[in-house]
Amino acid sequence: MKLKVSENIRSLVPYPPGKPIEELEREYGIPGSIKLASNENALGPSPKAVAAISAALTKLHRYPDGSNYYLARRLAEKLGVAPEELVFGNGSNEVIELLIAAFLEPGDEVVTSQPTFLVYQTMVQARGGVNRVVPLKEIAPGAALTSSGGGLPLGLVHDLEGILAQINERTRLIFLDNPNNPTGTIFGRTEFNGFLARVPEEVIVVLDEAYVDFVDHPERIDVRRYLGHKTPVVGLRTFSKAYGLAGLRIGYGVLHRELAGYLHRVRQPFNVNLPAQVGALAALDDDEHYRLTLEHTHDSVAWLVRKITALGCRVFDTHTNFFLVDVGSDGKGFYEAMLYQGVIVRPMTAYGYPGFIRITVGTDAENRRLVETMAHVLAGKE
Ligand X SMILES: Cc1ncc(COP(=O)(O)O)c(C=O)c1O
Nearest CB to ligand X, comparing residues 252 and 307? 252
Q: Is 279 in the site for ligand X (CB under 6 A)?
A: no
Within 13 A of 249's CA, how many CA atoms are on the CB side?
9
The rounded distance, in Å, linking the Cα atoms of 153 and 159 is 14
Residue nearest ligand X, CB atom distance: 91
Please report how close the Cβ of residue 168 comes to ligand X at its closest, in angstroms.
Answer: 25
Q: Is 251 in the site for ligand X (CB under 6 A)?
A: yes
The rounded distance, in Å, linking the Cα atoms of 307 and 326 is 14
Nearest CB to ligand X, comparing residues 109 and 177? 177
The rounded distance, in Å, linking the Cα atoms of 372 and 338 is 10
**Binding mask 218-247 vs ligand X (x if CB under 6 A, - otherwise)?**
--------------------x-x-----x-
Site for ligand X in 1-60 (CB under 6 A): 39
Q: Is 92 in the site for ligand X (CB under 6 A)?
A: yes
The site that binds ligand X (CB under 6 A) totals a number of residues, namely 13
Burial per residue of 74-96, b for 16 or more beta-carbon CB atoms within 10 angstroms, e otherwise? bbbeebebebebbbbbbbbbbbb
Please report how close the Cβ of residue 269 comes to ligand X at its closest, in angstroms.
Answer: 20
Are 79 and 224 contacting, i.e. CB atoms less than 8 angstroms apart? yes
Q: Is 210 in the site for ligand X (CB under 6 A)?
A: yes
Are 226 and 234 contacting, i.e. CB atoms less than 8 angstroms apart? no
Please report how close the Cβ of residue 369 comes to ligand X at its closest, in angstroms.
Answer: 23
Please report how close the Cβ of residue 121 comes to ligand X at its closest, in angstroms.
Answer: 12
Q: Is 208 in the site for ligand X (CB under 6 A)?
A: yes
Strands 233-238 and 251-254: antiparallel
Q: Which stretch binds ligand X (CB under 6 A): 54-62, 85-93, 279-287, 327-335?
A: 85-93
Of 342, 351, 348, 347, the C-alpha closest to 373 is 342
The beta strands (E) that lie in the chain are given as 34-35, 86-89, 109-114, 130-135, 137-138, 156-157, 171-177, 204-208, 233-238, 251-254, 314-315, 322-326, 343-344, 346-347, 356-360
Nearest CB to ligand X, comparing residues 334 and 351? 351
Q: Is 318 in the site for ligand X (CB under 6 A)?
A: no
Site for ligand X in 139-198 (CB under 6 A): 177, 181
Question: For binding to ligand X (CB under 6 A), which residues are involved?
Answer: 39, 91-93, 117, 177, 181, 208, 210, 238, 240, 246, 251
